[in-house]
A = this chain, B = another copy of it.
Amino acid sequence: MGLEMLNDNYKEGSKEPSKKENIPHIYSYQFCPYVERVHLVVAAKEINCETFNIDINSKPEWFFAKNPLGKVPALELDGGKILTESTIIAEYLDEAFEGKRKLQPKDAYEKCKQKIFYENFGSVFSGFYKIYRSKEDLNLLFATIENGLSLLEKELATRGTTFIGGNNDPLMVDYLIWPWLERLPAIISIIKKEKDWQKYLSSNLPLTVKYMQSMLDDSAVKKVAYSDDIHEEYFMFHIRLIRGDNF
């Protein structure tokens, strides 16, 4: 399995698929970290829903008709109700569906603390895509990423728990930051030419390494995550498009 999975996407001119009733529908793009946040929440809660992959470079007309800005992820509920923004969709799914478990703490203060963490973490990593969308120096881009990781290392040190959400299972906050961590091994391999991400990160970010190992053992992450090889293939394909074939 590799990038050929992109061939299954709905494109300009595709007919709108028929949909099962009474379950939510997710409009997705396979390699988008924001979309992955929603899939992780769905997997952790074991919510029954349907996913449709959209070609983000050639979106089908029917998708714009229901979601004028054409954003993914989008969640469609009965009656054509649409929600966008990954954190808002994730919070909605946790509130509206009991599912296997609740992913936000009951305590309002702790819930907001976690929210501040994942919102800030999302901002720190919003430059991630520059690796394959800009010609900026890769080592400088990686320095920004390492700076963001130091925030995580500090948070893990302060909390002293296996996950940010506690010792038992990951909570919303863990799933909402995971997609960027999942892509780190591929990025370290490409930029730092180091295949062993644990070795690379362990001297400065030992708690982050342990955290990532625990997350990789979680059943929702196992179900949703792509392998390091697929991420590397995806990054390299796009890096070569923008930075040249000889990269």
A3 interface residue (CB < 8 Å to B): no
Number of copies: 2
Q: Is the CB of B108 within 8 A of A96?
A: yes
A81 interface residue (CB < 8 Å to B): yes
**Chain A 72-92 against B: per-residue CB contact (8 Å), 1 yes, 0 no?**
000001000101110011011
Question: Which of B84, B85, B88, B109 interacts with A92 by CB under 8 Å?
Answer: B109
Q: Is the CB of A109 within 8 A of B85?
A: no
Q: Is the CB of A116 within 8 A of B88?
A: yes
A95 interface residue (CB < 8 Å to B): yes
Q: In the complex, A108 Cα to B24 Cα: how many Å?
A: 14
A32 interface residue (CB < 8 Å to B): no
Q: In the complex, A89 Cα to B111 Cα: how many Å?
A: 11
A113 interface residue (CB < 8 Å to B): yes
Q: How far is the CB of A70 from chain B (nearest CB, A)?
A: 14
Given contacts A88-B112, A88-B116, 10 further A-B contacts (CB under 8 A): A83-B116, A85-B116, A85-B119, A88-B115, A88-B119, A89-B112, A91-B112, A92-B112, A95-B108, A95-B111
Q: Which residues of A are in contact with B by a Cβ distance under 8 Å?
A: 77, 81, 83-85, 88-89, 91-92, 95-96, 108-109, 111-113, 115-116, 119
Can you list 20 A-B pairs with a CB-CB distance of less than 8 A? A77-B109, A81-B109, A83-B109, A83-B112, A83-B113, A83-B116, A84-B116, A85-B116, A85-B119, A88-B112, A88-B115, A88-B119, A91-B112, A92-B108, A92-B109, A92-B112, A95-B108, A95-B111, A96-B108, A96-B109
